[in-house]
Structure 1
Amino acid sequence: MQTDYAKICERMGRSQELSEFKRSTVIGCHLCNKSIHEISLLLNIPQSTVGGIITKSKQLGTMATKPRSERGQHMLKRTVCRRRKLSAESIVKDLQASCGLQISSTAVCRELHRMGFHG
């Protein structure tokens, strides 16, 4: 038997996106005049997620998910913070080796400048 804490942790995993079917089911339940609380209990989804899906559906008219932000910007900032004296070309090689990103040295310089790194 699971504890309440285990049930909450199981429901609150943030690493997964909901499938198209679950999002459609949320919208279908909403159109059948079910409350957010009822939909949450029925589908075992947090109420905030259900509310977000309904709001997004109303505002944008779609249930499609946006692509997640690219990991490259975080990797770039982390690389520069650890080793500040690297050239743009060596940063490009580092990012290609670790993430498989295809990026030019000009784009690296532009992003670094946008992040507040100068010089």
Structure 2
Amino acid sequence: MGHSQELSEFKHGTVKGCHPCYKSIREISLLLNIPRSTVSGIIIKWKQLGTTATQLRSAHV
């Protein structure tokens, strides 16, 4: 797998803004040119945690 870039706060906000306007995950994905799985992950995280901020990862030793 390749290394991916983090999405900007703008794109996170755009996903959150499109979702309540009855845009489908597919439509949002095409609009922002990001994978459907990423859009879905953002929406799920937003619903469960109330935020889309990047969480710190624990170091594996």
Q: Please state which band the TM-score falls in when normalised by the shorter chain.
A: 0.7 to 0.9
Secondary structure at the residue paired with 2:4? coil
Hey, which bits of structure 1, 4+ residues long, moved more than 3 A? Answer: none
Identify the match of residue 43 of structure 1 among 18, 32, 38: 32
Amino acid in the other structure paired with 1:22: K
Number of aligned pairs?
A: 61
Q: Which residue of 2 aligns with 1:84?
A: none
Higher helix share: 1
The structure with more radius of gyration? 1
CA apart distance, 1:35: 0.1
Query: Partner of 2:23 in structure 1?
Result: 34
Deviation at 1:19, TM superposition (A): 1.2
Q: What is the CA RMSD across the aligned residues, in angstroms?
A: 1.8
* Distance in 1 separating the partners of 2:44 and 2:22: 15
Relative contact order, higher structure (CA 8 A, sep 6+)? 2
Mapping of residues 99-110 of structure 1, within 5 Å: none
